[in-house]
Amino acid sequence: MELFELTRPELEEAVAAIGMKPFRGRQIFRWLYQELATDISMMTDISKSGREELAQRFTVRPLTAPEVFTSADGTEKLRFTLDDGAIIEAVIIPEKGRVTLCVSTQVGCPLGCLFCRTGSLGFSRDLTVREIVGQHWAAQKRLAEAGKRVTNIVFMGMGEPLLNLASTVKSARIMMDDLGFNLSNRRVTISTVGIPDKLDELGGQVSVNLALSLHAVTDEKRRAIMPATKNWPLKELLAALRRFPLPPRKKILIEYVLLRGVNDSPAEARQLVKIARSLNAKINLIPFNTFDGAPYEPSIAAAIQDFQQAIWDAGLTVIIRKSRGDESLAACGQLGYVPDTGDLEEDD
């Protein structure tokens, strides 16, 4: 049994099942996520005979050390090769007073959003809990060498988290466990295109921040740029969002990527205001991060400013997301490995 697949309660049950006291599970859990142990033999507050028995029954397999690609702004893209040869990417984003880690939940993405490089690469499979948590573990280990730690997690990497709901929820619980990575639920955000029934399931299982990848204000426009959303009409989606339980004093974040001549008109800004107001949400405008073969262009600076001003004038909170790591294809919507591109410089 792989220890990185288990939440703390599951680990306590697993050690109890082999005749050990449940508190041994808590000790093991702390070793894995706070001491970043790579082997059961390192868990020295457990007897030698106990460690030997554990080693016979459990495995500890961190992800293989990632390739690291560093951008001029300090953003680091971590590229992991998984056991089956699949490749996923996560991104460390250093900011003043915090370090955000963007993690992936799937190999590729099945949604096929036309403005997203990941979506253009297709879908292979869901990630396991070990593979999701392992991205956090590897980033934490890398940062620890510099005396830093991950302070915020965003499930905004490759894939749609709600289509891998069980592994996403278990991973979030491990990250927020006080003997795990000990993150407040106010520092964990799950980003989704919005799947009404899955939103209800998520809200019933874990309390985290929610980011909605909206990107268009009508069903017709959403279907055009995000084909999979034909299954989830805005009326049903907005109703599910109003039901979603957020951490105290938190608001839903509406993410809106601006595409030139597609969704950046003043009329669409006004409609976005109506949607945000109905949800008591804040808005994050995202300049389009282009990629080879992209069918759209970024909105011009004046259009972005006018769009933001229209939202400000309506009295809503709106920020423009600063692009981070775009020269190493680490920015929003750019993740996904294509062999032999020759466009990245590897960090030692």
- Return the active site residues: 89, 332
Contacts 24+ apart (CB under 8 A), 50-57: 50/20, 50/24, 53/18, 53/20, 54/15, 54/28, 57/1, 57/18
Structure tokens at 189: 């955000």
DSSP three-state, residue 321: coil
Rg (CA), the chain: 21
Query: By the 8 A CB rule, do 119 and 295 touch?
Result: no
In whole angstroms, what is the distance from residue 41 CA to residue 50 CA? 10
Residue 1, beta-bridge partner list: none
In whole angstroms, what is the distance from residue 329 CA to residue 121 CA? 14
Residue found by looking up tokens 């909170």 in the block: 317
